[in-house]
Amino acid sequence: MEVQKGEMKIAIVGAGKLGLKVTEALLGGDHSVTILDQDEDVLQKLSSHLDVMTVNANAKETKILKNLGIATYDYLIAVTESDETNIVIASFAKKLGCSKVIARVRDPEHMDQLGFIKETMGIDNIVNPDLAITVEIYKYLVEKYTLSNGIFSSGKVALLEFSAKKFSALIGRSMHDVGAVLENMLIVALSRNGKVIIPHGDTVIQPEDGLYVIGERIPIMELNAQVHEKGKYTDLQKVMIVGGGKTGYYLAKKLSEFGIAVKIIEIDKNRCHYLSTHLEDVMILHGDATDLDLLEEENLDEMDAFVTATGYDEENLLLALMAKRHKIEDVIAKVSRESYSELIESMGIDMALNPIDITASTILRFVQGSKRVVSSVLIQGQAEIMEIIASHHMKLIDRPLSELEIPDGVIVAAIHRGLNVIIPNGDTIIQEGDRVIFFSLLTELPELEKMLRDNEKLPFFKRKRQR
């Protein structure tokens, strides 16, 4: 497989949901990707619609890795269903000369010794979807802001998050009219009914919306003084978690350590025993959470927050909807299937998180490293604000933004040029060396990678494939 200049050679072991998501994004960035898996049918389906090399083999066998020429690869990403398999494969690949290796590790037993595993096994980065989703839920529940103090800043640019109710002059206005109220600032995203959305010209701000506004640091700080209460702390006291799997375990542990009363409802008796022996000060209940009588007996109505983290998206959404009807303030659902995103928006739950998207984002940022991405921050576990340096290879430079087919879920939020901050419009042209801040939904990561690709020989903005 011939590799163009600027491309990386990447091997992905495990053709599951995460492996596929990462593959699609990396192909968007024009890297050459090889997928290894032991399921021949899955690989055949993949190769029919993606431009990848597939290898039907057990990557734990060193001869397979040697035959692949793993020493010539920039990255190996091990994301099979087994932690131990991922650790072993990543370690073998590293010993055989692969530049960087990443392993997905989910078991709580491994979490206390990650440093030791990385050091002794030679693994560069370990990702844990359940821990990543836990961190986002914790930030939302305990800190109430997805950004530290509601502000992300980079140099002279800052992004502020606040509720529309705190700035009533914006309510009922469309994006076309916002400039009259927020001069030289841009609303880059709204959080509405648990979903982060990128607004368009005719999007109207509603009272319940959370707003993300970007602009120069000083005006943003002045706006912050108007819209944020000083010293706001959470009054969160009681949380019910449905599903005592890894996400439920990590979240209960973190919330309990913060001093919150946590109840976990888990249907599997053996798992209940595990949880009760591994968690302190957490109430473990053996039962079926779809039984409303059980939830009511356990004082569902008194809960400040309700988190559904079973292994079934449908059950998580159904229970979240039920909890919302019981007027629980914060209802969060773990949902792994992208096809449910529109359904989530109409349900009115407070937050729906996709562990696949969050983990793919983590892996991509590690792979891109400092080569291009200066910084990135996750927003409500559903979007990412990212600062990149525009290089002369990128086709997004020297053309007005209005001429670029920017995906619906991506917005060019601000441009840092020398000492100046530019809040862009359709006529703005990105120049080589600009520091460009993007706001992107995690679901659009493959499309964003296409925007940032460095390869001059390939066609640039393709129209989005209809899903």
Check residue 158 and give its pLDDT: 86
- Give the C-alpha separation, 193 to 209, whole Å: 8
Residue whose tokens read 């959080």:
191
Q: Rounded CA gap, 27 and 102, in Å? A: 18
Indicate if the pLDDT at residue 228 is higher than 90: no
Secondary structure class of 353 (helix, strand, coil) = strand
pLDDT score recorded for residue 462: 33
151-154 and 125-127 beta bridge pairing? unpaired
Highest average pLDDT, of 29-38, 229-238, 367-376, 383-392, comes from 29-38
Assess whether pLDDT exceeds 80 at residue 312: yes
- Give 243's contacts (C-beta < 8 A, 6+ positions apart): 264, 265, 266, 289, 308, 309, 310, 311, 316, 334
The bridge status of strand 351-353 relative to strand 373-379 is unpaired
Lowest mean pLDDT across 109-118, 305-314, 338-347, 427-436: 338-347
Q: Which two tokens stand for residue 161?
A: 């998050």
Which residues, other chains included, contact 314 with Cβ-Cβ below 8 Å and sequence gap of 6+? none
For 449, list phi and psi in degrees, rounded to 5: -60, -35
Q: Tell me the pTM.
A: 0.81
Of the listed ranges 43-57, 92-106, 130-144, 289-303, the one predicted with least confidence: 130-144
> According to the model, what pLDDT value does residue 467 have?
30
pLDDT value of residue 4: 52
pLDDT score at 305: 95
**Stronger pLDDT, 231 or 49, i.e. the higher one:** 49
| Range name among 147-151, 268-272, 382-386 with the lowest pLDDT average | 147-151
> Residue 155: which region, alpha, beta or left (left: phi > 0; alpha: psi -120 to 50)?
left
pLDDT at residue 65, rounded to an integer: 96
Question: What average pLDDT score do residues 116-122 get?
Answer: 94
Rank 6-15, 41-50, 217-226, 248-257 by mean pLDDT and report only the highest.
248-257
Q: Say if residue 73's pLDDT is above 60.
A: yes
Window from 163-177, 292-306, 330-344 with minimum mean pLDDT:
330-344
Please state, in angstroms and rounded to a whole number, the distance separating the CA atoms of residues 319 and 117: 37
- Write down the mean pLDDT value for the chain: 87
The residue to which tokens 């659902």 are assigned: 333
Mean pLDDT for 381-389 is: 86
Quick: pLDDT tens for 401-414. 999 888 889 999 99
State the average pLDDT over residues 118-147.
86
Q: What is the average pLDDT across 354-373?
A: 81
| Arithmetic mean of pLDDT, 160-179 | 90
Q: Which of 241, 196, 194, 211 is closest to 351 using CA atoms?
A: 194
Alpha-carbon distance values, 174 to 180, 185, 251, 467 (Å): 11, 14, 38, 28
Position 379 pLDDT exceeds 60: yes
Q: Are 123 and 103 in contact (CB under 8 A)?
A: yes
Local structure of 402: helix, strand or coil: helix
Q: Is 290 left (phi over 0), alpha (psi -120 to 50) or beta?
A: alpha
Which of the residue ranges 187-201, 205-219, 258-272 has the most confident prediction, judged by mean pLDDT? 258-272
Mean pLDDT of 184-204: 89
Rounded CA separation 31/50 (Å): 12
- Nearest-CA neighbor of 432 among 401, 400, 389, 403? 389
Q: What is the pLDDT of residue 461?
A: 34
Write down the pLDDT at residue 64. 96
Mean pLDDT of 447-465: 55
What pLDDT, on the 0 to 100 scale, is given for residue 460? 34
DSSP for residue 61: S
Output the pLDDT for position 459: 39
Contact predicate 26/87, CB 8 Å: no
pLDDT at 146 over 70: no
Alpha-carbon gap, residue 38 to 57, rounded angstroms: 5
Task: Extract the tokens encoding 313.
Answer: 């998206």
Closest by CA to 199, choosing from 319, 210, 326, 243, is: 210
Q: What's the CA gap between 125 and 103, in Å, rounded?
A: 7
Q: Which long-range contacts (CB under 8 A, 24 or more apart) does 326-331 make?
A: 326/300, 326/301, 327/301, 328/300, 328/301, 328/303, 328/304, 329/304, 329/305, 330/140, 330/141, 330/236, 330/304, 330/305, 330/306, 331/194, 331/305, 331/306, 331/307
Task: Indicate whether 127 pLDDT > 80.
Answer: yes
Query: 42-66 as b/e, with b when 16 or more CB fall inside 10 Å?
Result: bbeebeeeeebebbebebbeeebbe
Arithmetic mean of pLDDT, 139-149: 68
For residue 414, the cross-strand partners are 437
Mean pLDDT of 99-108: 95
Q: For residues 93 and 100, give the distance between their C-alpha atoms in angstroms, rounded to a whole number.
A: 9
Q: What is the mean pLDDT of residues 128-132?
A: 93
Over pLDDT 90: what percentage of the chain? 54
**Which phi and psi (to 5°) does residue 126 adopt?**
-120, 130
Give residue 444's identity as a one-letter amino acid code: E
Tell me the three state secondary structure of residue 52: coil
Mean pLDDT of 422-429: 91
The one-letter amino acid code at 280 reads E
